[in-house]
Amino acid sequence: MNKDSKRKSLRHSLLWPISNEKWQPISIPLVSILISFFAAALVILFIGKNPLQAYYNLLQGAGIMPKPSYAGYKSMVTDFLSLLNAMTPLVFASLAVAVAFRAGLFNIGVSGQMLTSGFLATIIVGYSGLDAILAKPLVLVIGILAGGMMGGLVGWLKYKFNINEVVSTIMLNYIAQYVISFFIHMYFIDPVSRQSRYIDEAARLTLVNVEIANLKMDIPLGFILAILTAIIIKFVMDKTVVGFEIKAVGSNRNAAKYAGINVGRNTVLAMVMSGGLAGLAGVTYYLGYFSSIQPKVLSSIGFDSIAVSLLGNSHPIGVIFSSFLVSIIDQGSTYMSSQAGIRQEISSVIIGLILLFSACGAYMKHKVSRLKEKEVERKENES
């Protein structure tokens, strides 16, 4: 075998995991993750630390692997439930980004929609004193409505005036951030924490310090809803006329319009759905994972969700797994820092690398397609 043949054989063997088009939605993100962890391992080695030990500590901190010892009322189970609690709003936020992507839209305003929904649910229900049976469902309804209206406004501006959704969502982020900060400082500030006053436990979507088997657990009530929502979104996108029309508009607006699809209606509808999901992310974050709102601060989840959605290939089920991975990295970073002596910012480096290599997915598909075409041409020439 000559050198040229060996080189081609090596190249084909390296690209084999992503060569099957049927499995590319799964194989490309997995390859991206492996490459990003390898690149992060090189960074950890460069600073003189053991990457295997660091990754093991990461899993320990997230409740995936056991720690050598635990504080009172804590165990691996409580750490894992804390992971699910942090993961819940990320799943909703990532689904919001994924739905907008399907319609060819980029909802970068998830953080603002989260904040608006969380604030309205806080002042309407969180301070109302309502019983838990009424308060918790009402929080979810307000989250969906507030986020949906905010997203619908963006979709309407896009359709009616052709205002780019990236510009409008960024501007709405700033508006929500500073207007809500003003109202918190004027009417709802806690003089000690300098955040909004803590909400009633009856309105909170996370059951805090529930004692079971001598353990104090944080139970995220919204987690099961997040999984069910992902399944429903998949069904809507794959099996309904609405889902087909949204994807058609996202693929080619002109062709969709020529086929008789109402582009404006589906643009607004997609952003209403996206905003509603962002609203659920907001209430599970501000009235679940936390119980107050920090003024002038937008949640990073709204921006992390872009990376998570890309990693999950904008697929509802893929979003669940990518949210799980990113949550492990985020939740385990503190313990990794304390045990391995690695700065917590390394976790952000890992997530950034995952996003970088996930964004190369289109290039990977193009490269594989070109290699297949060349292989076909070579065989035709030989015959």
Write the DSSP string, 235-285. HHHHHSHHHHHHHHHHH-HHHHHHTT--HHHHHHHHHHHHHHHHHHHHHHI
Kindly report the CATH number assigned to the domain that includes residue 297. 1.10.3470
Which pLDDT does position 5 carry in this prediction?
A: 55
Which pLDDT does position 10 carry in this prediction?
A: 43
Q: What is the 3-state secondary structure (H, E, C) of 195-231?
A: CECCCCHHHCCEEEEEEECCEEEEEECHHHHHHHHHH
The answer as to whether 111 is a domain residue is yes
Which pLDDT does position 21 carry in this prediction?
A: 66
The answer as to whether 177 is a domain residue is yes
The answer as to whether 15 is a domain residue is no
Number of domains within the chain: 1
The answer as to whether 3 is a domain residue is no
Which pLDDT does position 125 carry in this prediction?
A: 97
The answer as to whether 2 is a domain residue is no
Enclosing domain of residue 202: 25-382
The DSSP secondary-structure symbol of 55 reads: H
The answer as to whether 5 is a domain residue is no
**Alpha helices, DSSP H, located in the chain:** 3-15, 24-46, 51-61, 76-102, 110-121, 132-161, 165-183, 222-239, 241-251, 253-258, 263-284, 301-311, 316-340, 345-358, 361-382
**Cα 147 from Cα 168, distance rounded (Å):** 15
The DSSP secondary-structure symbol of 16 reads: G
Q: What is the pLDDT along the chain (383 residues), one digit of tens a residue?
A: 555 554 555 455 555 566 666 676 777 778 878 888 888 889 889 888 899 998 999 999 999 999 998 888 899 999 999 999 999 999 999 999 999 999 999 999 999 999 999 999 999 999 999 999 999 999 999 999 999 999 999 999 999 999 999 999 999 999 999 999 999 999 999 999 999 999 999 999 999 999 988 899 999 999 999 999 999 999 999 999 999 999 999 999 989 999 899 999 999 999 999 999 999 999 999 999 999 999 999 998 988 898 889 888 888 999 999 999 999 998 998 899 888 888 878 888 887 887 777 777 667 777 777 777 776 777 777 76
The answer as to whether 123 is a domain residue is yes
The answer as to whether 9 is a domain residue is no
